Amino acid sequence: MATMTIDEQVALLMQGTDYGDPQIAATMARELRVRLEESARTGKPLKVYCGYDPRTSDLHIGHTITMRKLRQFQELGHDVTFLIGTYTSLLGDPSDKDKLRPQLTSEQVAANSRTYSEQAFKILDRSRTQVRFNAEWLSELSFLDVIKLAENFTLQQFLTRENFAQRLEKGDPIYLHETFYALMQGYDAVAQDTDVQVGGTDQFFNVLTAGRKLQQAAGKRPQIGVFVKILPGTDGVIKMSKSLGNHIPILSTPEDMYGKVMSVPDAAMPLYFELATRYTPPMLADVLKRIADPANNPRDLKMELAREIVTIFHDADAAARAERDFITRFREREVPENIPDVTVTGSLNIVDVIAEAKLAKSKGEARRLIEGGGVTVDGRKVADWKETLDLAQPVVLKVGKRQYARVHKG
């Protein structure tokens, strides 16, 4: 990543974050700026981590949003730890659940852990990532140690948490061991001397209350929480989840991944660009402006999004192949059978091609149809009548409501 000013670094690292409270957001941004300035002055990188509980054996794109944030810290020269919660996953985080999580066995956790880091390296820089397991320190705590950690909290703090409060109101049980999770995650920050912890918006209590309080109790400077927004699934509404079937696996084929991204509702595109791409703040501002412009076809922008996501998890060639496959399947689904084949031998300007293919009465009519949004190439709306077609591959040209032709270069 090119050299960035501190202002640019803060803007990048805070992109896609959500604190639910502007005052908390301002405090975290201010503390982050101070640490970044100290790091630049001393040459000492920040210690940054995010924890992942291996409760399933595979990951989806929703899991990688925090990894994308870790990668940004890496590219700015900071130390990143990919922490596998081999101990916390035995209990399970209750933060985003309105009922008791099932407990996993040590064998299940071990089996799931084996694939986690390899999948993470599709986002993270393998050479600059430290992989650790929190059983390393949590398994060493005595019962007395746990009591001393618990002394820093009240039951009221736990019972006022939204998910616990809802269960209490409904008369659903809240088990004592569920309160241990925040202590365990908070101690992860103590054990690693963490400067920054990255997490989802469901981690406020674990990071800002438990982690910072335990660090202060241990005589350490409290960590900064960087909370990324939650990525919705392919339905565009509900949090991406394998159990709900609205997920995009990071181990899926390029074609499957591309197609699933193309199925995401248009309204969710801004959030996907913000969270799931490598776009910097200026690039994001540009694409959001293009999304808001009614002259632009949402399908073109979604294809840009799909190319970017497939390139991240595979490569640019795979993304290009997946796009060609999608266009072919789109044609088969949307284009009538037995459309005429037209070979053009002259200019490849879109107006000239329409005229040569006799899909409009005149070039003037062709221009008017383009300006009115009535011309598409492979389903992409043509916005500029000066456009020159790339006919390295045949394209399906649609003019008006019913005029189709498969256009080849002569």
For the domain that residue 350 is a member of, what is the CATH number? Answer: 3.10.290.10
In angstroms, the CA 317 to CA 227 distance is 33
Closest by Cα among 204, 210, 209 to 186: 210
Reported as half-sphere exposure (CB side, CA atoms, 13 A), residue 403 has a value of 17
pLDDT score, position 93: 57
Strand partners, 49: 81, 197
Same domain, 323 and 345: no
Same domain, 323 and 354: no
Please indicate, yes or no, if residue 233 is contained in any of the structural domains. no
Q: One-letter amino acid identity for 380?
A: R
Domain boundary among 334, 367, 397: 334
Report yes or no: 369 and 400 within 8 Å, Cβ to Cβ.
yes
Has residue 149 got a pLDDT over 90? yes
Tell me the range of 173-182, 243-252, 255-264, 330-339 where mean pLDDT is highest.
255-264
Largest CA distance in the chain: 87
pLDDT score, position 100: 47
Same domain, 29 and 133: yes
Same domain, 75 and 170: yes
Which sign does the torsion angle of CA 351, 356, 360, 365 carry? Answer: positive
Percent over 70 (pLDDT), the chain = 92
pLDDT tens, 135-146? Answer: 999 999 999 999
Tokens of residue 134, six digits: 């929190």
Domain boundary among 287, 305, 334: 334
Mean pLDDT of 238-253: 86
Please indicate, yes or no, if residue 243 is contained in any of the structural domains. no
Q: One-letter amino acid identity for 165?
A: A
Please indicate, yes or no, if residue 388 is contained in any of the structural domains. yes
Mean pLDDT over the full length of the chain: 88
Please indicate, yes or no, if residue 249 is contained in any of the structural domains. no
Has residue 2 got a pLDDT over 70? no
Same domain, 170 and 270: no
Same domain, 16 and 101: yes
Distance of CA 225 to the CA centre of its chain: 18
Report the range of poorest mean pLDDT among 45-49, 163-167, 273-277.
Answer: 163-167
Mean pLDDT of 162-166: 78
pLDDT tens, 48-100? Answer: 999 988 766 678 999 899 999 999 999 999 999 999 888 888 776 555 444 44
Cβ-proximal residues to 11 (8 Å cutoff; 6+ apart), any chain? 281
Same domain, 168 and 206: yes
Same domain, 280 and 370: no
Q: One-letter amino acid identity for 73?
A: F
Please indicate, yes or no, if residue 237 is contained in any of the structural domains. no
pLDDT score, position 98: 46
Closest by Cα among 86, 188, 76 to 128: 76
Q: How many separate domains does the chain show?
A: 3
For residue 16, the enclosing domain spans 6-228
Same domain, 153 and 269: no
Q: One-letter amino acid identity for 106?
A: S
**pLDDT-derived band at 102, boundaries 50, 70, 90:** low
Same domain, 301 and 187: no
Domain boundary among 334, 352, 387: 334
Cβ-proximal residues to 293 (8 Å cutoff; 6+ apart), any chain? none
Please indicate, yes or no, if residue 101 is contained in any of the structural domains. yes
Same domain, 26 and 164: yes
pLDDT score, position 337: 65
In angstroms, the CA 255 to CA 148 distance is 53
Distance of CA 139 to the CA centre of its chain: 32
Domain containing residue 308: CATH number? 1.10.240.10
The gap between the terminal CA atoms of the chain, to the nearest Å, is 44
In angstroms, the CA 303 to CA 256 distance is 14
Q: CA distances (Å), 321 to each of 306, 311, 397, 408, in order?
A: 12, 11, 21, 20
In angstroms, the CA 83 to CA 59 distance is 15
Distance of CA 97 to the CA centre of its chain: 21
Which sign does the torsion angle of CA 153, 154, 155, 157 carry? Answer: negative
Domain containing residue 23: CATH number? 3.40.50.620
Report the range of poorest mean pLDDT among 77-81, 192-196, 250-254, 372-376.
Answer: 372-376
Closest by Cα among 228, 230, 233, 306 to 12: 228
Please indicate, yes or no, if residue 216 is contained in any of the structural domains. yes
Please indicate, yes or no, if residue 242 is contained in any of the structural domains. no
Report yes or no: 363 and 355 within 8 Å, Cβ to Cβ.
yes
Same domain, 263 and 394: no
